[in-house]
Amino acid sequence: MSEFINSLTTAEIFFLIIGFTGQGLFASRFIVQWIYSEKKGESTIPLVFWYLSILGGAGLLIYAISRKDPVIITGQLFGIFIYARNLILIYNKNKYEKN
């Protein structure tokens, strides 16, 4: 493993760190959702789930772009669009409920 890391350029290590951070954020959203649902006693998605999805997806997108991987790039772009749309729907609903 150390031989692999030693063979990487500084830029490759930078993007690897971004990729792992993005993956960590993306995976953590399920833990957050699970804990939130346990506290509520029902399956519920908290607002932070969508923010973790966007941040994690953005990290993975940056990593995918650095690797020139069209499959991951397409998947993350599509996902980020959906996560952002969910946030817009949530904020619009909250805005109309307050009025």
- The CA distance from 90 to 45, in Å, is 11
- Is position 4 within any domain? no
CB contact at 8 A, 56 and 29: yes
- Is position 1 within any domain? no
Over residues 89-96, mean pLDDT: 91
- Is position 84 within any domain? yes
pTM metric for this prediction: 0.87
How many structural domains is the chain composed of?
1
The range of the structural domain enclosing residue 78 comes to: 10-98
- Is position 87 within any domain? yes
Over residues 56-78, mean pLDDT: 97
The HSE-up count of residue 4 (CA atoms within 13 Å, CB side) is: 2
- Is position 66 within any domain? yes
Which tops the pLDDT comparison, 62 or 96?
62
Quick check: 99 pLDDT over 90? no
Q: What is the pLDDT of residues 1-51, one digit of tens each?
A: 889 888 999 999 999 999 999 999 999 999 999 999 999 999 999 999 999
